[in-house]
A and B are shown apart, each in its own frame.
Chain A
Amino acid sequence: MSLNNSTISLGFTEQQFPAGVHVCQIISDDDERQESLLKFLLAGLKAGECACCFSEQINETILKEFLGNYGISFNDVIDSGAFIFSRTRNIYFQDNRFDPDRMLATLKNYHEESEAQGFSAARVIGEMLPEVQNLPGGNRLLEYESRVSLLLEKHPITAVCQYDARQFNGSTIMDILKVHPWMVVRGSVVNNPFHIAPEVFLSTEDVKGQA
């Protein structure tokens, strides 16, 4: 089975999307975050996709119980490579720094591996931590997000980025909105009117300077 161009479900909305959408979810409570995350992963696994999760808030116990309720064995999907679960810090902040290039390579590799393993699609949901702002490379967060959009055009991983409005200040939230083409508003995924096309965004002097 190879990746195809059919629409997929994000799980937390009834809307269907082509694979490779880059969605931003601004959350303000933990239940909302967890519910979206679990539903997103479940939808992918049920659809035969390869699903990947980077989170500090969720744990194996919750995942096992949740997936188990739907007849999916956590251990089985882990063993089969259908599900990849990692702590945010372990994947984003290796060597205690944030390296957008490495992350992009990781995503690219992930997609290629998924494709190679015959999954119908690949999806990832990641929770960004506010500490990124204080880490080396943290100032390249917006660049990273924008380049993800570019990456997804070639490697259509369906990606949902979770940002906690309680932990990032308002101006940052606004900046993050600008680098995500899609965003979740009250449970629905909408086109982001603040989105700046990556080609434009990445061409700005600020971004150039950071890179």
Chain B
Amino acid sequence: MMKQNRSPDLSPQVLGQLLLMQTIICSLPDETSLFSFICRGLADFPGVEQVRYSRNKEEGLAASVTRFPIQTNDANYGELLITVSEPVAFTPYIEYLKNFCFMVAIILDERIKKNKYEELCTKLDQLVRERTTSLTKSEKKFRSIFDASADAIIIADKNGSVLEVNKAAEILFGYQHDKMMHIKLADLMPERYRADHLRGMEHVASTGKTTYLNRVLEFHGLTEDGKEFPLELNVATWFVDEKQFFSGIIRDISSRKKAEAELRDSEEKLNIIFNSTNDGILVADAESRKFVTGNKAICEMLGYTLEEITELGVDEIHPAESLTEIHHQFARQVRKEIDVFHEAPVLKKDRSIFFADISATPTEIGGKKCLIGLFRDVTARKEMEEKVRQSQKMEAIGTLAGGIAHDFNNILSAIIGYSEIILTKAYSDDEIYHYVEQVLQAGNRAKALVQQILTFSRKSIAEILPIKIQPIVKEVLNLLRSTLPTTIEIRQEIDENCAPINADTSQVHQIIMNLCTNAFHAMEETGGTLSVTLKEVNLSVNESGALHLQPGYYAKLDVQDTGTGIKEDVISHIFDPYFTTKQQGKGTGLGLAVVYGIIENYGGKIVCSSRFGTGTIFSVFIKTVEATRKSKDEVQTTILPLGKEKILFIDDEEALALLGEKILESLGYSVFSMTNSLQALETFRADPYQYDLIITDQTMPHLPGSELAKEMIKIRPDIPIIVCTGYSSIMNEKQANSIGIKAFLMKPVSKEVLAKEIRRVLDRKFSHGT
């Protein structure tokens, strides 16, 4: 086409140049470079003198200048102004140049569009870079949190395939990262959970819902090497492009579980300790003083159940009269001013009272200030302390009694001794004889009373021998018959065949007298019957067991009255020292205590049975012995042994020295009495063989009997010495024997006893051939 229409003057080279310029200008970066290229290229065009480019339309151009606008319908890029020197040569190219300029406009259009596009692309790139940077940062942040989390984090799809895990998850489950990325969630749990888990995943797959969200689940995990561990799981879910994903945050709670188990164990132990201690424990609210809890021991102490205790407060477990003090001490314990409230009276459910030391510690429980009180029942200790006090009191009485006994026995010695002398001098049908007999009997009772006081205070020296009880019972009843009012009938039933017992006569006398006196007091106002029964019983195993005795033969002495009886609540205290229901002056409270002590000392038992308003019976059981030797009573004889030896009698009391001299002379002896022990020693030293026997009092000034005896024995080792004493805390029979004293007699010494003891000592001396 072009060839057919081309004017003969058109040069292919020139057209080629136009085409080439179109191509090259695409490579030129800006309009300046582009138009300089064009202007330079067109300057050599046929007929062209000059070419220049104008951005704006210029006016008033020369006729030789042809405008070639560079424009499209939408844009104008200026114009080429071509000065033509040879129009003939130029003209054929005008249309080509117009097309060329249009193409340049198109190229510039495209370039602008391209630049805009590139600008947009640049902006887009920038935006993408910024977004990428932001995402990278976000990813890094997420990743750092993800990896730094102490909790394991696992991301999985809805099929349970693990998609991502953090470092903690790898450590917790013991997997290498790559391996963990190829397992299922089911692999991370023990077999027993898997069926439920798979059902759950199927449910999620079909419904898109899970019931595990917003819950903390506790179950067990499974490590790669098959170890189970307890874990806590939080599940979250999200969707990306309609695909559902899950993340699980997993915490190993082994330590917590262990700690919980230890805590439970500790609580159990604490509970065991709390409930196994013998001391009661009560926890009270420090403000309201209401009880929060308590242990088993306090329930037993108070008689309440724990439920009942928690309904109570401090005021309900102490006597009303003590509450002011209790509140005061409670407040002090709350303030830590004191640790222990000693011997607080505590009220049981049954309204009885015991005493407790309450150690308290203030503390805080559940944000409330509380007081933990440790109750130690000190009732027994308190009673023991009371007994100790009683014992100390008795000791004091005993000391006092011992002091009195010495002097009193000396007095009685004179009374009894002279009474006996009178009886040997008077005729038995004389009225005076009968009176002196009463004096002697009263003297002996006084002697027994002193003995009773000494016995009670453990100061007496009991003389345990096989004795028969029958004559003692009779003697006591005879004595009572004359003193009891006629409103009281005395009945006796005494088995003469009852075997002897090992006992001290005066103590048995004391037992019977005390029991009968009590019976009298019980019937004093109303009258009644006093029954005394003595028999020998053979206690079976069952019978003796009930009495805490060994089976066998016992003398059983019953003293029964038909008096007022003893109230049930006091019957357990009747053997306590100083316990008495009698009015002032009628009883010391010592009687039954002494009786009880004597019988216990013999290995026997005393029991009391009483019905208030009906009467009382005391039964005494003392083991009997075979009558292999004669009892004390049986060896008694009215014929006193006599002698003719020379006796030195020493007593610091002149009356007693004289009495001794008289008695001994009445027994046939040759007697020299002295009242000064030092002088007596000198007399003896002067002629040691002048006397056959020395009888001396123990308690004397300057030189006591025992020291005198020692000195005399030093002088003459074979000298027989008898020591008499009203009471001595430093000498007893055993000690006397150890220093060579042959006999140790307790004042007042009866004439009979003295006569027999002298003969025993002297005859023994001679039988040994000294």
Contact = CB atoms under 8 A, between A and B. Distances in A.
Interface of A: 26-28, 165-166, 169-171, 173-175, 177, 183, 185-186, 190, 192-194
Contacts of A186: 23
Nearest to B20: A193
Contact of B20 (A165, A171, A194): A194
A193 to B, nearest CB: 4
Contacts of B39: 171
B110 to A, nearest CB: 14
Contacts of B36: 169-171, 174
B24 A173 contact: yes
A21 to B, nearest CB: 17
Contacts of B13: 193
A28 B29 contact: yes
Contacts of A194: 17, 20, 41, 44
A175 to B, nearest CB: 7
21 contacts: A26-B27, A27-B27, A28-B27, A28-B28, A166-B29, A169-B32, A169-B37, A170-B28, A170-B35, A170-B37, A170-B40, A171-B36, A173-B28, A174-B37, A174-B41, A185-B23, A185-B24, A193-B14, A194-B17, A194-B41, A194-B44
A193 B13 CA distance: 5
B38 interface: yes
Given A170-B36, A170-B40, A194-B17, 13 more contacts: A26-B24, A165-B28, A165-B33, A170-B25, A170-B28, A170-B32, A170-B35, A173-B33, A174-B37, A193-B16, A193-B17, A193-B20, A194-B44
A170 B28 CA distance: 7
Contacts of B32: 169-170
Contact of B27 (A165, A171, A174): A165
Contacts of B16: 193
B24 A169 contact: no
Contacts of A166: 29
B658 interface: no
A171 B17 contact: no
Nearest to B12: A193
Nearest to A170: B37
Contacts of B20: 177, 183, 185, 190, 192-194
Nearest to A163: B27
Contacts of A193: 13-14, 16-17, 20
Which among A170, A177, A194 has the highest number of chain B CB atoms within 10 Å? A170
Contact of B38 (A165, A170, A190): A170
B681 interface: no
Given A171-B36, A174-B40, A165 B17 contact: no
Nearest to A175: B40
B667 interface: no
B331 interface: no
B24 A177 contact: yes
B29 A173 contact: no
A192 B13 CA distance: 9
Nearest to A29: B27
Given A174-B40, A194-B41, A169 B33 contact: yes
A164 to B, nearest CB: 9
B29 A165 contact: yes
Nearest to A195: B13
B34 interface: yes
Contacts of B34: 170
A192 B36 CA distance: 19
Which among A26, A27, A174, A186 has the highest number of chain B CB atoms within 10 Å? A174
Nearest to A173: B37
Contacts of A183: 20
Interface in B31-68: 32-41, 44
A102 B36 CA distance: 31
A190 B20 CA distance: 10
Nearest to A191: B16
Contacts of A190: 20
Nearest to A194: B17
- Which 7 residue pairs across A and B have the least CB separation, nearest first? A170-B37, A193-B16, A28-B27, A174-B40, A170-B36, A170-B33, A171-B40
A36 to B, nearest CB: 13
Contacts of A192: 20
Nearest to A169: B33
Contacts of B41: 174, 194
A177 B17 CA distance: 11
Contacts of B17: 193-194
A74 to B, nearest CB: 31
Contacts of B27: 26-28, 165
Given A193-B13, A193-B16, A193-B17, A165 B24 contact: yes
A132 B13 CA distance: 30
A101 B28 CA distance: 30
B221 to A, nearest CB: 52
B109 to A, nearest CB: 18
A135 B278 CA distance: 115
A183 B14 CA distance: 16
A171 B24 CA distance: 12
Interface string B103-124: 0000000000000000000000
A165 B13 CA distance: 23
Nearest to B19: A193
A27 B16 CA distance: 20
A170 B41 CA distance: 9
A171 B25 CA distance: 11
A171 B32 CA distance: 10
A194 B34 CA distance: 16
A52 B23 CA distance: 29
A24 B265 CA distance: 95
A175 B44 CA distance: 11
Contacts of A173: 24, 28, 33, 37
Which among A26, A185, A194 has the highest number of chain B CB atoms within 10 Å? A194
Contacts of A170: 25, 28, 32-38, 40
B17 to A, nearest CB: 5
Which among A26, A173, A177 has the highest number of chain B CB atoms within 10 Å? A173
A173 B32 CA distance: 13
A26 B29 CA distance: 12
Nearest to B23: A185
Contacts of B23: 185-186
A183 B24 CA distance: 11
Which among A165, A166, A186 has the highest number of chain B CB atoms within 10 Å? A165
A62 B638 CA distance: 158
Nearest to A186: B23
A185 B32 CA distance: 22
Nearest to B31: A170
B38 to A, nearest CB: 7
B31 to A, nearest CB: 9
A210 to B, nearest CB: 17
Which among B23, B25, B32, B41 has the highest number of chain A CB atoms within 10 Å? B41
A125 to B, nearest CB: 18
B121 to A, nearest CB: 15
B755 to A, nearest CB: 152
B82 to A, nearest CB: 16
Contacts of A165: 24, 27-29, 33
Nearest to A167: B29
A37 B365 CA distance: 90
Contacts of A175: 40
Which among B13, B24, B29, B44 has the highest number of chain A CB atoms within 10 Å? B24
Which among B23, B33, B36 has the highest number of chain A CB atoms within 10 Å? B33
A132 to B, nearest CB: 17
A28 B33 CA distance: 13
A174 B36 CA distance: 9
A201 to B, nearest CB: 12
A27 B23 CA distance: 12
Which among B14, B29, B32, B35 has the highest number of chain A CB atoms within 10 Å? B29
A169 to B, nearest CB: 5
A171 B37 contact: yes
Nearest to B25: A170
